[in-house]
Structure 1
Amino acid sequence: MNERVALVTGVSRRIGIGAAVARRFAAAGYRLQLTGLPRYDDAQPYGGDPDGVPALLAELNGVTGDPDAVRYRVVDLTSPSAPAELIETAVRTHGRLDVLVAAHAYSTHTPLNGLDAAEIDRHLIVNVRATLLLAEAFAAAFGAGSGGRLVLFSSGQRLGPMPAELAYAASKAGVENLTRQLSPLLMPRGITVNCVNPGPTDTGYASPEGLAAVGRLFPGGEWGRPDDAARLIEWLCSPDGRWITGQVIDSEGGFDRYG
């Protein structure tokens, strides 16, 4: 495992799932190319993490003991050229790329009777187009013949309605479908393709009232934690995950949408 290289998108806040995945991978000996768009989180109601990226890089470098093992690049995935450039950067920096975890997402309030064409487009561009272009560039760059892993992210929209996030739900449905479309194409190249739905995860975006209300919908009374998703992703990307592909995996701790 020490020679494996992973690219993880959607990394900007230390409390995020992308950061949790990076921690797991660093501890397992991966070399990492991380990317995110901190200004996106800065503009959200929950706010960004101003010291997040430098602090996370310092933490990961302490784990790896190698200042060159973890690299970071700010990237706006609305750019059509960004996905291919990211893959190229990872391969140029580390010499190879074995794993792509596409943890990035764009989500805003998009209810019926309040839809905006530009917002719908942005959801599809970031969540679907960028993911598909990343997958294409990764497949073209992957040369190991086996052990490749592509992990996408869903939000369980097929399990229940998301009336306030219609554009997000539609885009994530597209990501789930990509999982099934890409898996038979990439398995012959030695790459598995899976999609993880981590369920409601406490990454600092919910209000105390929201945390309490949604927490009651879990049998255990608590939200998922970022490391819950990261543990599953680490396993999928390990040799033990070699036979799992084309799956949308709901890892929600028994979450009951209907209470």
Structure 2
Amino acid sequence: MSTSTALRGSTALVTGATSGIGKAIARNLAGQGAAVVLHGRDQERGEALAKEIEADGATARFIAADLADAEDTLRLAAEAGAVDILVNSAGLYEFAPTPATDAASFDRQSAVNTRAPFLLVGALAPGMAERGRGSIVIVGSSAARMPAPVGAAYAASKAGAEVLARYWATEFGPSGVRVNAVSPGPVHTEGTRAMLGEHIAMLDRTNARGRAGDPAEIAEIVSFLAGPASSYVNGAVLFADGGELSALPS
């Protein structure tokens, strides 16, 4: 876990914090001094992560919520309370061609990847604006700009979230609230390993670095966007893809 005091005195809500990129983000923010509110669906994993973070000398608590449910998303915002940093990291991806993507799948991905950030920002950004400070970071995806034969619904939901980040930067920027996005390329996570199985090595052939990213690398970027070092950055979508060459390598 990164150790710094750049975020001491701040409170951060991280959605999707119990695995993958979200977990790395939560640990990084906590390591920089933020009190972290962890979100996820699995109570056991969430409480275990909170204990790990507290064992490292930081502050954390966990709130379980289903971001596919609008009311549960708003409950998460209410229970999180006043936060200085909001990281929308939770993501749902169901990679399938369009004919195999039914309305329920489309709605689930849109609800988690686009609507949930919209509701959380609507609930939490006004408080940040009243206090005259705050930082919101959206975790998007290179799928939003790198078309592929599968995953159109996921890509559309992530593209929507990245567009919202730019709108919110305009809406809340004058009140001292910065809104930015990081758009990762392929990253080695539990989710990508489960999805690709024995084909996981293909992730390392998609960019100019010759390897997929690590969650900790994305977490460093998110912490930069959340913290004071990026005080003049607002409305940016930062590509973190290793110099992507293609969506699906041959």
TM over 0.5: yes
Unpaired runs of 5+ residues, structure 2, are 1-6
- Pick from 234, 237, 241: which aligns with 1:245? 234
Is the Cα contact below 8 Å between 1:202 and 1:226 reproduced in 2? yes
Deviation at 1:208, TM superposition (A): 5.7
Count of equivalent residues: 238
Deviation at 1:125, TM superposition (A): 1.5
| In 2, Cα distance between equivalents of 1:118 and 1:211 | 27
Runs of at least 4 residues off by over 6 Å: none
Aligned in 2, Cα 1:22/1:89: closer, same or farther, shift over 3 Å? same
Is the Cα contact below 8 Å between 1:186 and 1:192 reproduced in 2? yes
What corresponds to 2:72 in structure 1? 82
Is the Cα contact below 8 Å between 2:15 and 2:39 reproduced in 1? yes
Deviation per CA, 1:82-101, whole angstroms, max 9, x where unpaired? 2332222122xxxx310000
In the TM superposition, 1:93-104 aligns within 5 A as 96-104=82-90
Aligned in 2, Cα 1:54/1:87: closer, same or farther, shift over 3 Å? closer
What corresponds to 1:61 in structure 2? 54
Is the Cα contact below 8 Å between 1:29 and 1:64 reproduced in 2? no
Aligned in 2, Cα 1:112/1:88: closer, same or farther, shift over 3 Å? closer
Identity %: 33
What corresponds to 1:150 in structure 2? 136
What TM-score do the two structures reach when normalised by structure 2?
A: 0.88
Is the Cα contact below 8 Å between 2:47 and 2:62 reproduced in 1? no
| In 2, Cα distance between equivalents of 1:58 and 1:158 | 35
SS of corresponding position for 1:113: helix
| In 1, Cα distance between equivalents of 2:69 and 2:209 | 41
Deviation at 1:61, TM superposition (A): 0.5
| In 1, Cα distance between equivalents of 2:209 and 2:93 | 27
| In 2, Cα distance between equivalents of 1:189 and 1:137 | 15
More helix per residue: 1 or 2?
2
| In 1, Cα distance between equivalents of 2:50 and 2:227 | 23
What corresponds to 1:161 in structure 2? 147
SS of corresponding position for 1:250: strand
| In 1, Cα distance between equivalents of 2:109 and 2:208 | 32
| In 2, Cα distance between equivalents of 1:155 and 1:163 | 16
Is the Cα contact below 8 Å between 2:12 and 2:34 reproduced in 1? yes
In the TM superposition, 1:1-259 aligns within 5 A as 1-13=7-19, 16-38=20-42, 52-64=45-57, 69-91=59-81, 96-142=82-128, 143-146=130-133, 148-204=134-190, 205-206=192-193, 207=196, 209-257=198-246
| In 2, Cα distance between equivalents of 1:115 and 1:61 | 41
Unpaired runs of 5+ residues, structure 1, are 40-50
| In 1, Cα distance between equivalents of 2:211 and 2:76 | 36
| In 2, Cα distance between equivalents of 1:238 and 1:151 | 10
Deviation per CA, 1:231-257, whole angstroms, max 9, x where unpaired? 001111111111111111101112211
Aligned in 2, Cα 1:213/1:110: closer, same or farther, shift over 3 Å? closer
Cα RMSD (Å):
1.8
| In 1, Cα distance between equivalents of 2:148 and 2:141 | 10
Is the Cα contact below 8 Å between 2:184 and 2:241 reproduced in 1? yes
| In 1, Cα distance between equivalents of 2:61 and 2:142 | 31
| In 1, Cα distance between equivalents of 2:161 and 2:80 | 23
Whichever residue aligns with residue 53 of structure 1, its letter is G
